[in-house]
Amino acid sequence: MTANTLPEDSLLHERITRLPTDKRAQLLARLRAEPARAETPWLTRFSRGDAPGVRMFCFSYAGSGASIFRGWTDGLPADVDVWAAQLPGRETRVGEQPVRRMGPVIDALHEAIRPHLDQPFVFFGHSMGALVAFELARRLRSAGDPEPAHLFLAAFRAPQLANPNIKIYHLPDEVLKTVLLKEGTPQQVLENDELMRALLPTLRADFELCDTYEYDAQPPLRMPLSVFGGHQDVRVGRSDLEPWQDQVDGPFRLAMIPGSHFFLHSAQDLLLAELVRDLRATALTTVHLKEGKHVHDRPIAG
């Protein structure tokens, strides 16, 4: 996780800031409505069919919710079913208090996800979501539940590394906004008082969740791991991502993608293509690929 949790190219935030007050209120209300079929309050399903071959459970970055994965079904094979975690304090759960510690989040997600592990599944997590996905995979193992067939983690340092960043969750609002601006949050977002009133409590809670996280050394997970970083990410670099390989006893691939911390927005098509390639290499989807089957050691150009 980094402090710049709002993507500079986010169409959502730019659209909100440009709308008149009444239209902006209508849009915010619509975004708080259920974006797709909610299997539980903690999981939202974006699906195009009733018989998928693999379930992809997705976990979002700090301050965001399930809706950032709404369009992913268009870039993935038809036999991949997208499910997104929805933490309290955002979108459909905007009236709930956000959770400030990792333990209760993992407890709740574990309970929510257990009934849906009857088919092959994978995890994708971006920034804070990468840490959540990793810890949830370890919880499934310790509970003796089915484990992900593949882990896809993006834009978060390996968990065994010390956090080199200052803790910002306790800072006053105006100081926090200054830090967010420096880290890349658009000026127009920070100047939108209505939007910031809605976002800051959840952002602050998510920052606290990550800043108070304590790594517990355990044996490596036995599954393939693909890790992705942004070439222009100023807070999470290759040296922060490479040690992830120590967390798995299986194939590992690190790929750097053009873009900043939020390359999942600016380079979404490229990221999804890379996910598809690795899904195919792990024999989890029937999608036809123009290139070779085994890509675990192939870097992304650029």
pLDDT tens, residue by residue, 199-215: 888 989 999 999 999 99
Structure tokens at 287: 């999608």
Residue predicted with more confidence, 18 or 103: 103
pLDDT in tens, 242-270: 999 999 999 999 999 999 888 999 999 99
Residue tagged active-site, from 127, 226, 260, 266: 127
Beta strand 43-46 pairing with 37-40: antiparallel
Residue 127: active-site member: yes
pLDDT, mean of residues 269-291? 78
* Helix (H), strand (E) counts: the chain: 10, 8
- Better-predicted residue by pLDDT, 21 or 218: 218
Q: What's 202's DSSP letter?
A: H
**Between the CA of residue 288 and those of 61, 256, 263, what are the distances in Å?**
30, 24, 25
| 11-281 is classed CATH 2.40.50.100 | no
pLDDT for 7? 38
> At a CB cut-off of 8 Å and minimum separation 6, what does 17 contact?
24, 186, 188, 189, 191, 192, 195
Report the chain's mean pLDDT, rounded to a whole number: 82
Q: Is the pLDDT of residue 83 over 90?
A: yes
* Predicted local distance difference test score (pLDDT) of residue 30: 44
Is the pLDDT confidence value at 65 over 50? yes
Distances from the Cα of 214 to the Cα of 163, 210, 217, 220, 281, angstroms:
10, 9, 10, 17, 33
pTM above 0.95, yes or no: no
Give the side-chain half-sphere CA count within 13 A for 89.
Answer: 19
Low-confidence winner among 174-183, 213-222, 229-238 (lowest mean pLDDT): 174-183
Q: What is the mean pLDDT of residues 92-112?
A: 96
Q: How far apart (Å, rounded) are the C-alpha atoms in residues 10 and 1? A: 17
Compute the half-sphere exposure of residue 103: CA atoms within 13 Å on the CB side of its CA. 4
Tens digit of each residue's pLDDT (9 = 90 or more) over 9-59:
344 445 455 555 555 554 454 444 434 566 689 999 997 666 668 999 999
